[in-house]
Chain A
Amino acid sequence: NAGVTQTPKFQVLKTGQSMTLQCAQDMNHNSMYWYRQDPGMGLRLIYYSASEGTTDKGEVPNGYNVSRLNKREFSLRLESAAPSQTSVYFCASSEGGASNEKLFFGSGTQLSVL
């Protein structure tokens, strides 16, 4: 009963390096999301995938790319990391349009870009 699993939990990068954050859910959810959390800014949506095969930009997509690999997996890629991308990243999923709609979160990734 894992729910939403994201890896890694911590990561330190140098400016210009690339990396991919992985996320998988085992709840057969249609929709998946990537958020970043910064002090005083709340959670801001980076990208989301309403259903398998679709992705859309959120509030802060610049510097990121995503891939909805299949219904279970949704990855977030930083092609050339910048210090401004230092943040806590959360993956989340939801049924997407269900009457009992709610968001389930992974445990987060603390990313530092030096």
Chain B
Amino acid sequence: AQTVTQSQPEMSVQEAETVTLSCTYDTSESNYYLFWYKQPPSRQMILVIRQEAYKQQNATENRFSVNFQKAAKSFSLKISDSQLGDTAMYFCALTTSGTYKYIFGTGTRLKVLA
């Protein structure tokens, strides 16, 4: 069975600082994808960043980057230069090639403080 664990229910960071959100996962598949989704108060789910397991290079999207540790099954999200608009719930998710099922963690609520 596939699992995704986010052990930090809530975090806060000062504006312009850097914060890292943790995610661990478990799968027996070799071909899989990992994601971070953001859910602001508007409730809309927004894709932040995506990582393919077969790629060793960590994905980056502007101020967002990941630390993908395949052997440790760890997939953390780093937000640099935090902005007030980054305040949201962040979900880590996993899907494996061929299963079509996306499994989500329980989320981390991030608050950026002015």
Are A and B co-members of a single complex? yes
Interface residues of A (CB under 8 A from B): 31, 33, 35, 40-45, 48, 50, 58, 88, 90, 92, 94, 96-97, 101-103, 105, 107-108
Q: How far is the CB of A86 from chain B (nearest CB, A)?
A: 15
Task: With A43-B91, A107-B43 given, name 5 new contacts (CB 8 A).
Answer: A40-B9, A42-B6, A42-B105, A50-B100, A97-B97
Interface residues of B (CB under 8 A from A): 6, 9, 33, 35, 37, 43-45, 47, 50, 91, 93, 95, 97-98, 100-107
Residue numbers in A under 8 Å from B104 (CB-CB): 35, 42-44
A97 with B100, Cβ < 8 A, contacts A102-B50, A103-B47, A105-B44 known: yes
Residue numbers in A under 8 Å from B9 (CB-CB): 40
Residue numbers in A under 8 Å from B103 (CB-CB): 45
Interface pair A94/B35, CB less than 8 Å apart: no
A102 with B101, Cβ < 8 A, contacts A40-B9, A42-B107 known: no
A101 with B33, Cβ < 8 A, contacts A45-B102, A50-B100 known: yes
The 27 sampled A-B contact pairs (Cβ below 8 Å) are A31-B100, A35-B104, A42-B91, A42-B104, A42-B105, A42-B106, A43-B91, A44-B104, A45-B102, A50-B100, A92-B102, A94-B95, A94-B102, A96-B100, A97-B98, A101-B33, A101-B95, A102-B35, A102-B47, A102-B50, A103-B35, A103-B37, A103-B93, A103-B95, A107-B43, A107-B44, A108-B43
